[in-house]
Amino acid sequence: MILTISAIEDEAKLAFLRRRIDALDWRDGKATAGKVAAAVKQNQQAVMTGTVGQEIQEQILPLISKNSVVKAAARPRQFTPLMISKTGDGGHYGPHVDNAIMAPNGTRVRTDIAFTLFLSDPNEYEGGELAIHTAGMMSEAKPNAGQLVLYPATSIHEVRPVTDGERIVCVGWIESLVPDQAQREMLFDLENLRVSLRQSLDPNSIELLTLDKNIANLLRMWSVT
């Protein structure tokens, strides 16, 4: 399941974040990639351990973790620390697979789901599409600033070369309470159905109570706590 979600709609918030990102220090992106991925990675990664980096993380993470669509689609258990990437001058990130387990702060996180929050408008750079390989097809995304692409970390994916301008994004990974992708998708469908039915049915109707019961019971069956 690949979703594009509006994560930051406030233009003033986006502008503030971009100003703070301009104050970050940068290093070669290969430093944060595994051995195989580093061979195809050509970008810059922000140093997030300083005061500005921590401030940006504290600003962005709640906007993602509390987003209703992210919560329904990903069923987050925990997040990795966020990373800010900058790509320009022909930079790219060739086809690769994310590490299954990450432990950037000593806490192990199983990477079920990846996300890319776009912080540059698409008219600010040429190329730079996020390309996600799925069975028998390829999906490409280059949404507006403030939009987030949520996709399975199990997939092969890449960032097309940026031939002009500069692409700035925030990336991270989610360990889900429901590890199975197909089960998460079924729960997401049921959650969307519940939201739709709430517009026309009484909250205490037997239809909604039955749906509530089954969503809760499926979570009991499938979740890992």
The reply to whether 129 and 33 lie within a common domain is yes
Sequence-distant (6+) residues with CB within 8 A of 15 are none
How far apart, in whole angstroms, are the C-alpha atoms of residue 107 and residue 115? Answer: 19
pLDDT value at position 123? 96
The reply to whether 99 and 160 lie within a common domain is yes
Nearest CA to 151 out of 167, 138, 136, 165 is that of 138
pLDDT value at position 159? 97
Q: In the chain, how many domains are there?
A: 2
The separation between CA 176 and the C-alpha centre of its own chain, rounded to angstroms, equals: 12
Nearest CA to 140 out of 124, 148, 128 is that of 128
pLDDT value at position 31? 81
Encode 11-25: b = buried (16+ Cβ within 10 Å), e = exposed. Answer: eeebeebeeebeebe
- The stretches in the chain having pLDDT less than 50 are none
| Parent domain of 209 | 181-222
Q: pLDDT tens digits, residue range 10-51?
A: 999 999 999 999 999 999 988 877 777 788 999 999 999 999
pLDDT value at position 124? 96
**First-to-final CA distance of the chain:** 23
The reply to whether 215 and 104 lie within a common domain is no
Tokens representing 132 are 């996600």
pLDDT value at position 177? 98
pTM: 0.94
The reply to whether 110 and 206 lie within a common domain is no
Across the strands, what pairs with 154? none
How far apart, in whole angstroms, are the C-alpha atoms of residue 80 and residue 23? Answer: 22
Q: pLDDT tens digits, residue range 103-122?
A: 988 889 999 999 999 999 99
The reply to whether 44 and 79 lie within a common domain is yes
The reply to whether 115 and 14 lie within a common domain is yes
